[in-house]
Structure 1
Amino acid sequence: MNIEYKHAYLIMAHNNFELLRVLVKLLDDKRNDIYIHVDKKAGDFNKDSIINDIKYSNVFFVKRISVTWGGYSQIQNELNLLKEASKNSYKYYHFLSGVDLPLKNQDYIHNFFDENNGKEFIHFCSQEFNLDGKDRYSVYHFLQDIVGRKKGVLYYLQRFSVKIQKKMTFLHRDRKDIKYCGGSNWCSLTDQCVKYILSNEARIKRMFRYTTCCDEFFIQTIIRNSKFYNNIYNTEDSYIACMRYIDWKRGNPYIFNIEDWNELNNSAFLFARKFSLDSQQQRMLVDKLANSILNNADKK
């Protein structure tokens, strides 16, 4: 099979390895290669336990780094996955977290992308979100890769630094000739788009190093200021733009359970997050969804 017709799934995981095993099994198809990054902070994990049931896909575990919430390490992790996968040329590259699951079987997913070949599936937030998030990238967050979510001396020191910088507008690092845009970092991209993003890695580092939560800005900003914006599947502030169902109204994000089965089963989305195996209701949903997809699968 010509690899240019294959898809690459790029998975970022840091825990919930039992659920990760389910995800990988649902992606197992000769038309897919799977690239997995497991956060270095997760410690030792059993690779074989994740891929024991894999029969069709090639699975690659990329070099592990420690990823800090909100830090540039999140961006670096995404770039590392893209660089590793782009050593081959895939038709599409799909970012998923380790707690995502597909809602459709692989025949359905591949047919969808065949019908929409050349489109970029990237979610863009509203202009209001972009303006509200300006502090993420316009001032320096020097300690974000150390601080993460932890509140302590360094956290409050960084907050003080940001407060001072916001008043000193002449120090702001955002460029007036760039349209900064945010959105979900879970996206599906063509090979040409991925190669373009990687060709801008030095620029991305200049613009987004020492920022906070700009894994939700860097891809959107690079694409918004390029010819690839003309290929966006949907430019409205809707997750249909990236074909992922993510519910921020009921949670942070909401964790689906068996009561959501009908909604998910009848959804137009291709993927959803987030899932868990922590409760019986959540596990029942994962089992039902997995069985439904596998029973309807026609492996190529």
Structure 2
Amino acid sequence: MDIAYCIICHKNTNILRTTIEILWQGIHVDKKANIEDFYEYTDKVHFMEERIDITWVSFSQIQATLLVLKEVAKKTYDYVCLLSGDCLPLKNSDEISEFLIKHKGKEFIGIQKKTDANELENNIKFEHSNLYLKRYKSVLESIKFKIQRHVGSPKINPGYKSLPSLYKGANWFCLGGELCNYILKYLQENSWYSAAFEKSFCGDEVFFQTIIMNSKYSDKIYNYNGGYDDNHIPLRYIDWNSGPEYPKILAEEDFINIKAVENQDCIFARKFMKI
């Protein structure tokens, strides 16, 4: 079983160090980060030469993911697993390989069964300004942002009407190599699709799900009808309920829940304290 583990990160931490020690694979370092901070991994991972300046909830998240998919497409892999620098493997590489062999043919990407239709539509239907996408705003920017939201009508995304039915879910996945190649081919043949997401909000939670669920691969989603949420379907343990942070910053005491029977097929967990 050939598996490509692709990590998108912006900071070198002990969590990232542990993940690489367990998996040894490829890494995309945010363009804002100092690449030299990651040189300790030179003999273990492949660094993406092209780097994206990733900003919160923007199209740059999609761009970085597409970069790694194009890179791994140069070889043949059974599965491509997308991770963040806050992810930690819960199984070793042999155990992960055994699990994926057992479920080969399934696709592990989060798909929400119930979504807020208005929120989902608005995130893609309208063009969002750079100020809208800025996570931390100054007082002056916050005032300007409120004025923009309440005065005038938002500009409609011209590509919205061409989009198929929208689906949403967590943006971390383990996809079969065949499906990854299908996605890249689809985008090559339908350049309008990417353009329709360029000014979206949280488009990375919709972009890949929508392609997949409107394709022949829609019936291959792992445990889609098994009561799993959109974090568990892609084999992730992520606590969106306990707080005080959302998702919760996991610590040693959380491993009691992580190791519970109902989570035995989670092969990664996030997110952990950056140390």
For the aligned pair, the TM-score class normalised by the smaller chain equals 0.7 to 0.9
- Cα distance, 1:192–1:184 mapped onto 2, change above 3 Å: same
Is structure 2 residue 26 aligned with structure 1 residue 35? Answer: yes
Q: Percent identity?
A: 33
One of 69, 72, 77 as aligned partner of 2:56: 69
Larger mean Cα displacement after TM superposition, 265-274 or 218-227:
265-274
What SS does the corresponding residue of 1:46 show, helix, strand or coil?
A: helix
What SS does the corresponding residue of 2:81 show, helix, strand or coil?
A: strand
Matched residue, 1:23? 19
- Cα distance, 1:158–1:115 mapped onto 2, change above 3 Å: same
Is structure 2 residue 143 aligned with structure 1 residue 143? Answer: no
Task: Report the residue type matching 2:115 in the other structure.
Answer: E
Larger mean Cα displacement after TM superposition, 174-183 or 101-110:
174-183
CA distances 1:199-253 after superposition (whole Å, capped 9, x unpaired): 2332431221111111111011111111111111122551221110111112321
Distance 1:89 1:264 in 2: 32
Normalising by structure 1, what TM-score? 0.78
Distance 1:211 1:159 in 2: 18
Is structure 2 residue 199 aligned with structure 1 residue 199? Answer: no
Unmatched segments (≥5 aa) in structure 1:
29-33, 279-300
Distance 1:192 1:157 in 2: 46
Q: Determine if contact 1:141/1:162 at 8 Å carries over to the other structure.
A: no
Distance 2:122 2:178 in 1: 31
Q: Determine if contact 2:237/2:269 at 8 Å carries over to the other structure.
A: yes
| Cα shift at 1:21 | 1.3
Is structure 2 residue 213 aligned with structure 1 residue 258? Answer: no
Distance 1:151 1:174 in 2: 28
Q: What is the alpha-carbon root mean square deviation over aligned residues?
A: 2.5
Distance 2:72 2:142 in 1: 35
Larger mean Cα displacement after TM superposition, 94-103 or 39-48:
39-48
CA distances 1:165-220 after superposition (whole Å, capped 9, x unpaired): 45x87x77533772101100001101111011112332431221111111111011
What SS does the corresponding residue of 1:12 show, helix, strand or coil?
A: strand
Is structure 2 residue 41 aligned with structure 1 residue 50? Answer: yes
Q: Determine if contact 2:13/2:274 at 8 Å carries over to the other structure.
A: no
Distance 1:44 1:176 in 2: 39
5 Å-filtered alignment, 1:118-267, equals: 118-143=105-130, 147-152=133-138, 164-165=152-153, 173-175=159-161, 178-201=164-187, 202-235=191-224, 236=227, 238=229, 239-250=231-242, 251-266=245-260, 267=263
CA distances 1:141-177 after superposition (whole Å, capped 9, x unpaired): 1426x952132566665665566445x87x7753377
- Cα distance, 1:47–1:186 mapped onto 2, change above 3 Å: same
Is structure 2 residue 90 aligned with structure 1 residue 103? Answer: yes
| Cα shift at 1:42 | 1.6
Larger mean Cα displacement after TM superposition, 17-26 or 60-69:
17-26
Distance 1:131 1:118 in 2: 33
Normalising by structure 2, what TM-score? 0.85
Number of aligned positions between the proteins: 261
Matched residue, 1:13? 9
Q: Determine if contact 2:52/2:63 at 8 Å carries over to the other structure.
A: no
TM superposition outliers: structure 1 runs of 4+ over 6 Å: none
Matched residue, 1:289? none
Distance 2:204 2:163 in 1: 21
Task: Report the residue type matching 1:213 in the other structure.
Answer: C
Q: Determine if contact 1:17/1:50 at 8 Å carries over to the other structure.
A: no
Distance 2:162 2:66 in 1: 25
| Cα shift at 1:132 | 2.5
Is structure 2 residue 238 aligned with structure 1 residue 273? Answer: no
| Cα shift at 1:128 | 2.7
